[in-house]
Amino acid sequence: MKIYFASGNSHKRVELAQILPAHDVVIPKDEGIAFDPEETEPTFYGNALIKARALYEIVRKPVIADDSGICVDALGGAPGVLSARYGSKPGEPLLDAESRNRLLLAAMREKPNRSCRFVCNMVLYYGPDRFVSVQETIEGTLIEEGRGLGGFGYDPVVFIPELGKTVAELSPEEKNEVSHRGKAARKIAIFLDSLNHEST
Ligand code: IMP
């Protein structure tokens, strides 16, 4: 079954598609749909719902959306919902991931508490005012210097103590097994399956 994913991020799409092998995960640009809703809410949940609702209004078919980011305890939870825009000025193009990581590590100099987590809120939206929301995390610590070539975004700077690797050093399968998005997507997959058996 085709499932729309309200995202422009092809890395996220690949991760989601791995968890939903029975589905054809389609993002708006695959179908030439211009899609860039403003993410105005202060929570991952609020922004995921904005994206899900916005795409549902266009396609009128079940939609998955996610809003995610990194929350650093020593920075009061920042960059949080602003993770994609960290270090960028309003109205200017976003910094690339490498520059954002450099900035984040610079902001962490001298800070003894390096604990952080990735958070993902994922919404399955399947009718006007009908939706499921799941929020998941993966706990890590910020290392001093990025390591690894896999994944995307902040993956090279987040070390997972239990695995002894940064997220960027995990294979795609290993990342999906433990990640905020992987855990959320597996739960959403259960609801998606139940939706397919529902008649109304
Ligand atoms: P969103 O598209 O508004 O959800 O922005 C999410 C941003 O958070 C991304 O651009 C990344 O910078 C960061 N992010 C979210 N999930 C991950 C991940 O799995 N690895 C690394 N960075 C992530």
Indicate if ligand 1 lies below 6 Å from the C-beta of 67: yes
Indicate if ligand 1 lies below 6 Å from the C-beta of 84: yes
pLDDT of 105 strictly over 70 = yes
Q: Hey, whose CA ends up nearest to atom 2 of ligand 1?
A: 67
Closest CA to 67 of 152, 114, 133, 117: 133
Q: Hey, whose CA ends up nearest to atom 9 of ligand 1?
A: 84
Peptide bond preceding 79: is omega within 30 degrees of 0, i.e. cis? Answer: yes
Closest CA to 40 of 27, 59, 54: 54
Where does the pLDDT of residue 193 fall: very low under 50, low under 70, confident under 90, or very high at 90 and above? very high
Indicate if ligand 1 lies below 6 Å from the C-beta of 156: no
Cα–Cα distance list, 14 to 9, 137, 175, 180, 198 (Å): 9, 19, 12, 15, 27
pLDDT of 197 strictly over 90 = no
The model carries a pTM of: 0.96
Domain span holding position 168: 2-199
CATH code for position 99: 3.90.950.10
Pocket test for ligand 1, best of 16, 51, 83 (most atoms within 8 A of CB): 83
Task: Quote the pLDDT of residue 140.
Answer: 98
The secondary structure of residue 79, as a DSSP letter, is B
Nearest-atom index, ligand 1, CA of 167: 20
pLDDT of 67 strictly over 60 = yes
CA atoms of 139 and 137, how far apart (whole Å): 6
Total domain count for the chain? 1
Active site amino acids? 67
CA atoms of 161 and 141, how far apart (whole Å): 8
Q: Hey, whose CA ends up nearest to atom 10 of ligand 1?
A: 84
Q: Is-contact 50 40, C-beta < 8 A?
A: yes
Place of tokens 């001093």: 144
Indicate if ligand 1 lies below 6 Å from the C-beta of 154: yes
Q: Which residues contact 177 (CB under 8 A, 6 or more apart)?
A: none
pLDDT of 7 strictly over 60 = yes
CA atoms of 126 and 60, how far apart (whole Å): 8
Residue pLDDT, tens place only, 138-155: 999 999 999 999 999 999
Nearest-atom index, ligand 1, CA of 48: 4
Indicate if ligand 1 lies below 6 Å from the C-beta of 118: yes
Task: Quote the pLDDT of residue 90.
Answer: 87
